Amino acid sequence: MKLQAFVPLVTYPDPNSPTTAANAAAFAAHIDAKLHAAALNADIPAVANALSRLLMNLPEMIREAEELSRRQGRDLLDAVREKALVMDVEVATQEVGAALAFFGETAAGHARYHDLSLVGWSPGNPTSRMVAEAVIFGSGRPAVLMPETSTEAIKLDRVAIAWDGSRVAARAAGDSFPFLQLASNIHVLTVGDEKPLAEANAGARMAGSLRERGFPAEAVAVTGGGRPIAETLQRQASDMGCGLLVMGGYGHSRVRDFVLGGATEGVLSDLTMPVLLSH
């Protein structure tokens, strides 16, 4: 069975970087997945106001903004196709129109028909963040957040799993199996000084459970030392040479506003490596 990976591409007002295309193709090549890339193009409602038309030529401004969105979307889809060809990855592309405020909900709806999403992440792009949060909490599928500044080749031979014994951590670990099956080293990270854990040996127990399934897993106890949990996890994973961090996505949505847990908020605020988030 071939995995199906969805790539939502923000086109307006600030588009995703072409690096998203390179990272998505590299991930898909590693896990032998087909890419489904969708450019989210802005549909801006017309404003029926004679005065605004006279003073600002608003209809023309709307037309130009929509055309810019579509042009940037076509450029991103071209970049996906070109990189997929180089990486020998099967790819399908489409353009999807939506009001800017509904980019996230539109992306989440499309993501539900695929096995996972590969989402380009830029901290200075609020539309990108809106789409990422909606996919994480609204799609029911795992999402891999990819830093857009990353230019190095994706390496997935080492994977880290953030583990606290919770439901969302278990969901993320299960959703990461396509990556775990390709890893030669799996590190189960447990931060002992961040919050009380239900089981003192939770990390060792999870590592043992993975070994029973044939995965080369080991437990690693981590000390945060007062640093934010997201920084601690990403730094530890990076220091161990991991190309992917797996963790549960803590939070819930209220319409289009998201209330996030500390670790999830920390990752979204300062993403330094590819992170698989699952809710």
Q: Provide the residue type at 233 as one letter.
A: L
pLDDT at 199: 75
Same domain, 188 and 250: yes
pLDDT per position as a tens digit, 158-176 = 999 999 888 989 999 999 9
Same domain, 31 and 113: yes
Residue 77: which CATH number? 3.40.50.620
pLDDT at 83: 93
> What is the average per-residue pLDDT within 73-101?
95
Q: What does the alpha-carbon distance between residue 99 and residue 124 come to, in Å, rounded to a whole number? A: 21
Q: Provide the residue type at 90 as one letter.
A: E
Lowest pLDDT segment from 6-10, 60-64, 94-98: 60-64
Judged against a pLDDT cut of 60, whether residue 52 lies above it is answered with no
Q: What does the alpha-carbon distance between residue 136 and residue 190 come to, in Å, rounded to a whole number? A: 22
Q: What does the alpha-carbon distance between residue 83 and residue 154 come to, in Å, rounded to a whole number? A: 13
pLDDT per position as a tens digit, 114-156 = 999 999 988 789 999 899 989 998 999 999 999 887 655 678 9
Same domain, 198 and 249: yes
> Which of 120, 147, 174 is the last residue before a domain boundary?
147
pLDDT per position as a tens digit, 192-250 = 766 666 677 889 999 999 999 999 999 999 887 778 888 889 999 999 999 999 998 75
Judged against a pLDDT cut of 90, whether residue 44 lies above it is answered with no
CA 217 remoteness from chain centre: 24
pLDDT at 122: 81
pLDDT at 254: 47
Same domain, 139 and 183: no
pLDDT at 241: 94
pLDDT > 90: percent of the chain? 61
Kindly list the distances between the CA atom of residue 251 and the CA atoms of 43, 257, 261, 262, 277, in Å, as whole numbers in the listed order.
Answer: 29, 11, 5, 9, 11
Residues of the domain holding 181 = 158-278
pLDDT at 47: 63
Same domain, 22 and 97: yes
Asked if the structure places residue 59 within a domain, the reply is: yes
pLDDT at 149: 72
What letter does residue 249 receive in the DSSP assignment?
A: -
pLDDT at 174: 95
Same domain, 39 and 66: yes
pLDDT at 56: 63
pLDDT at 45: 79
Lowest pLDDT segment from 7-21, 32-46, 177-191, 239-253: 239-253
Q: Which helix (H) or strand (E) holds 146?
A: strand 143-147
Q: What does the alpha-carbon distance between residue 70 and residue 57 come to, in Å, rounded to a whole number? A: 21
Question: Coil, strand or helix: which one is 194?
Answer: coil
Same domain, 17 and 128: yes
pTM, two decimals, is: 0.89
